[in-house]
Amino acid sequence: MQNDRVAAAYEQYVNTVLRAAWHYTGSRETAEDCAQEAFLRLMQQDDSMTDGHILPWLLRTAVNLAKDHLKSAEHSRTEALSDHLDRPAEDSLFSAERTVYRALQKIPEHYRLPLYLHVVEGYTVRETASLLHLHFGTAATAIRRGKRLLREAFEEEALA
C-alpha cells in the first residue's frame, strides 16, 4: 500500500484502533503494540483496498492481535508485585477507564467491539454494522444486549 495512504490512515484512525485494542487487552503498552502491528501490516497490503475498507480492516486486525496476545504464553506469565510498585501512578482518567474496562470484561466478547464503536466512538448502529461486516439487526441486538449487560456489570461493581 502506498506510504501516503498509510500515513493518512494513521493520522485519521490511530486513536480509534488504539482504544479498541486497549479495550481488549487492558494494557496501554500492549494496545500500542497491537495498533502498531496493525498499521505495519496495512503497509504490506496491496493498493486494491478501498478507503472505506481501511478502518474495518485495521480494527479487525488490531482486535485479532489483541486476542492472540491474550491467548499467548507471554500473557499467562505471572509478574512479581515489585514490578508494578515502581511504575508511576496513573491519572484519574486512566483509573476511570480501568473501571470501565473491568466492567467490559464481564460481558461476552462478541458484544464488546460493537458496543465500543457505538457508545465510545459514536458510530451509528448502521455504521457499526458496516464496519464490522454485520447485518444491521445483528449489530443493533449486540449493542442493545451489550448495554444491558454492561449496566448490570456496573451495578455489580457498585454493590461490591
More confident residue, 11 or 160: 11
Residue 74 near residue 53 (C-beta atoms within 8 A)? no
Nine cell digits for residue 82: 515489585
pLDDT over 70, % of the chain? 79
> Does pLDDT of 104 surpass 90?
no
pTM over cut 0.75: no
* pLDDT tens per residue across span 36-86: 999 999 988 877 777 778 888 998 899 889 888 877 755 455 454 444 444
Q: Which domains, from first to last, does the chain contain?
A: 1-87 (1.10.1740), 88-160 (1.10.10.10)
- Classify 46 as helix, strand or coil: coil
Q: What's the burial of 89, exposed, middle or buried (CB within 10 Å: 0-12/13-18/19+)?
A: exposed
What's the confidence (pLDDT) of residue 112? 86
CB burial of 119-131 (b: ≥16 within 10 Å; e: otherwise) equals eeeebebeebbbb
136: Cβ contacts below 8 Å, ≥ 6 apart: 125, 126, 129
More confident residue, 100 or 84: 100
